[in-house]
């Protein structure tokens, strides 16, 4: 199965949630205030979020008026176009230097460690030498789990004992990357500390080490978000963005969720690009996010085929 087919399958629940309500709406004969009210409600229920749903409906009203549209099929096409515009241009990972550094953050339980394992596998398949830094030293289970994934991916891991200084792990990993001429260093971080200030301090410390040890290197700061948590994922991204300058999002568990609409609200409200999506449990089920494919998969119907 190609990745587009996997994406279609992964978005099946989201599409049913969204277009289950839109199907009858788009087959109605009149575009009036009731039409727009029902559309906004349907978008909100599909976890696109109140603000983004309102933005979409207001923009749609304006375009329908400007283009003098009278057929709901035409309105559906405009809606598809608007969502594509909200998602914007694709934003691939910046791996332009040797080494390049990817710092992965996010709360416990969102699939962060699994995403790192899958990303390591993907990069190795592209011929890159990858070193993973196990900098979540606050939980022994986190180190063990990461070790399992790096073994599966066939990449190297730098780890210390539980309770070690996370920044020291990062320091050693960057040293190892230079010595072994690694292409990419992926850094796992703690998903939960005692309070937000501790989290900010820890991430700032790791960031300083990265800039000191790998000056001039390409740096991605990716937050892993669980698609099944819907709007809560947007709130997590907002909170973490205060602690780190996030460059992109890894959206996990998209195949398990009817809340894939959060991709749209993330793009509209946070202006942070989704860079990677996971649409299955296999090691090769994490892939770069392609906005056009997402929109096509979301709006795909039997009639379009």
Which contiguous run of DSSP H or E holds residue 266?
A: none
Whole-angstrom distance, CA of residue 103 vs CA of residue 60: 38
**Equal fold, 3-89+299-304 vs 100-289:** no
- Quick check: 175 and 213 in contact, CB under 8 A? yes
- pLDDT tens digit sequence for 106-129: 888 888 999 999 999 999 999 999
Residue 160: predicted pLDDT: 95
Q: For the whole model, what pTM was predicted?
A: 0.87
- Quick check: 90 and 289 in contact, CB under 8 A? yes
Residue 302: predicted pLDDT: 47
- pLDDT tens digit sequence for 156-209: 999 999 999 999 999 999 999 999 999 999 999 987 755 677 777 888 888 888
- Spell out the domain ranges in the chain: 3-89+299-304, 100-289
Instruction: Assign 3-class secondary structure to 219-261.
Output: EEEEEEEEHHHCHHHHHHHHHHHHHCCCCEEEEECHHHCCCCC
Whole-angstrom distance, CA of residue 198 vs CA of residue 204: 10
Q: Which residues contact 113 (CB under 8 A, 6 or more apart)?
A: 136, 142, 145, 146, 149, 188
Residue 17: predicted pLDDT: 65
Residue 147: predicted pLDDT: 95
Whole-angstrom distance, CA of residue 220 vs CA of residue 194: 25
Whole-angstrom distance, CA of residue 45 vs CA of residue 53: 10
**Which CATH number does the domain 100-289 belong to among 3.90.1150.10, 1.10.1750.10, 3.30.565.10, 3.40.50.300?**
3.40.50.300
Low-confidence ranges of the chain (pLDDT < 50): 302-305
Residue 195: predicted pLDDT: 63
Residue 299: predicted pLDDT: 78
Residue 249 token pair: 């999002």
Whole-angstrom distance, CA of residue 41 vs CA of residue 262: 15
**H helical segments located in 11-47:** 12-26, 33-45
Residue 116: predicted pLDDT: 96
- Quick check: 168 and 160 in contact, CB under 8 A? yes
Looking at CATH, the fold of the domain delimited by 3-89+299-304 is given as 1.20.120
Whole-angstrom distance, CA of residue 230 vs CA of residue 236: 10
Of 67, 70, 42, 72, nearest to 54 by C-alpha is 42
């Amino acid at each position: 199965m190609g990745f587009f087919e996997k994406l279609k399958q992964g978005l099946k629940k989201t599409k049913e949630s969204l277009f289950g309500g839109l199907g009858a709406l788009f087959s109605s004969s009149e575009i009036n205030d009731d039409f727009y009210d029902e559309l906004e409600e349907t978008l909100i229920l599909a976890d696109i979020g109140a603000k983004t749903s309102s933005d979409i409906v207001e923009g749609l009203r304006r375009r329908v008026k400007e283009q003098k549209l009278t057929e709901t099929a035409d309105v559906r096409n405009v809606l598809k176009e608007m969502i594509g515009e909200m998602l914007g241009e694709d934003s691939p990972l910046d791996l332009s230097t040797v080494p390049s550094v990817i710092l992965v953050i996010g709360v416990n339980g969102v699939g962060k460690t699994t995403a790192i394992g899958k990303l390591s596998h993907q990069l190795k398949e592209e011929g890159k030498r990858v070193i993973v830094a196990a900098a979540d030293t606050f939980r022994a289970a986190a180190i063990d789990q990461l070790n399992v994934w790096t073994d599966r991916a066939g990449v190297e891991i730098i780890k210390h004992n539980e309770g070690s200084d996370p920044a020291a792990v990062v320091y050693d990993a960057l040293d190892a990357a230079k010595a072994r001429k690694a292409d990419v260093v992926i850094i796992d971080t703690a998903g939960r500390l005692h309070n937000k200030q501790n989290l900010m301090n820890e991430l700032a410390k790791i960031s300083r080490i990265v800039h000191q040890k790998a000056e001039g290197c390409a740096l991605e700061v990716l937050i892993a978000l669980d698609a099944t948590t819907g709007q809560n994922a947007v709130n997590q991204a907002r909170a973490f963005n205060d602690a780190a300058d996030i460059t992109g999002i890894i959206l996990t568990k998209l195949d398990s969720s009817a809340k894939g609409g959060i991709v749209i609200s993330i793009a509209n409200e946070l202006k942070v690009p989704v860079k990677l999506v996971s649409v299955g449990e296999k090691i090769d089920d994490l892939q770069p996010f392609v906005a056009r494919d997402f929109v096509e998969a979301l709006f795909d119907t039997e009639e379009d085929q």
